[in-house]
Amino acid sequence: MRLENRIALITGAGRGIGRAIAEAFAREGARVAVADLSADSAGETVAAIEAAGGTAMALTMDVTDEQAVEAGVQRVVDTWGRLDIALANAGIQHIDPVDKLDFADWRKVIAVHLDGAFLLTRAALRHMYAGSGGTMLYMGSVHSLEASPLKAPYVAAKHGMLGLCRAVAKEGAEHGVRSHIICPGFVRTPLVEKQIPEQAKELGISEQEVISKVMLKNTVDGQFTTLEDVAEVAVHLAAFPSAALTGQSIVVSHGWHMQ
């Protein structure tokens, strides 16, 4: 097992990509704290991990709430003794052109991705620096590296997370902390299912055209990125035996974006 005895915390792990990574980490031997806004969905991920023989705890956490993030990280350390891997994964999407975008919607998307990533990073680093280091992971996106129309706050937030990841790689090195950002293409999770009809309406095209002409147009094989694709990369990064990949963004997009 590649993550035996490691302690991990993943935000937004109640469903979608975060859940798939939580289950993959647990299969590889990690104990996993499953943090989510939704207590029910965090509990469902924990139940699935335990049913498969793994160890997990549920944390109800809004990643934009400073006290909740501090308390959640502290609970992991109090329960399991330390924190080795933290993944800032919680995310939301909002579809609107910039000229029609409400300030409140801009702020909400930025807060969940960027404030959330900062708050988790700060809380995790305090424990990692005091111990023997660790690994910070960020769930970026191809939108950390390029833009699409109608997603300005998401694109801005994901570019910001790339900057945070790089800053942490520089600052964390002397404390034994590595930092990586995973940049997936489109994965068919609830976050993506919701935006297919929204984009169809905004662009005046069919839902099938949103899939083939917008989402998968630039892939080499016309395929969605899968949960398994992303989870395997997360395990690989978390288990990587040296700091050789620190500060790197890893694109997982079936060729949509090549860097």
Ligand X SMILES: NC(=O)c1ccc[n+]([C@@H]2O[C@H](COP(=O)([O-])OP(=O)(O)OC[C@H]3O[C@@H](n4cnc5c(N)ncnc54)[C@H](O)[C@@H]3O)[C@@H](O)[C@H]2O)c1
* Piece in contact with ligand X (CB under 6 A), picked from 127-135, 172-180, 190-198, 233-241: 190-198
Q: Helical H runs in 81-178?
A: 103-110, 116-130, 152-172
Residue 226's CB: how many other CB atoms inside 10 A? 15
CA 206/CA 197 separation, integer angstroms: 8
Q: Do residues 121 and 164 make contact, with C-beta atoms less than 8 angstroms apart?
A: yes
* Minimum gap (Å) between residue 66 Cβ and ligand X: 12
* Minimum gap (Å) between residue 242 Cβ and ligand X: 26
Q: Which residues pair with 86 in a beta bridge?
A: 9, 136
* Piece in contact with ligand X (CB under 6 A), picked from 8-16, 78-86, 94-102, 203-211: 8-16
Question: What residues have CB less than 8 Å from 73, skipping those under 6 apart?
Answer: 9, 83, 86, 120, 123, 124, 127
* Piece in contact with ligand X (CB under 6 A), picked from 2-10, 84-92, 94-102, 127-135: 84-92
H-helix or E-strand containing 209? helix 207-209
192 binds ligand X (CB under 6 A): yes
| 154 tagged catalytic | yes
* Minimum gap (Å) between residue 223 Cβ and ligand X: 12
Q: Which of 1, 5, 38, 223 binds ligand X (CB under 6 A)?
A: 38
184 binds ligand X (CB under 6 A): yes
Strands 249-252 and 134-139: what pairing?
unpaired
90 binds ligand X (CB under 6 A): yes
186 binds ligand X (CB under 6 A): yes
63 binds ligand X (CB under 6 A): yes
Catalytic-labelled residue, pool 25, 138, 154, 224: 154
Which one, 89 or 246, has the nearer CB to ligand X? 89
Half-sphere exposure of 125 (CA within 13 A, CB side): 23
Residues carrying an active site annotation:
154
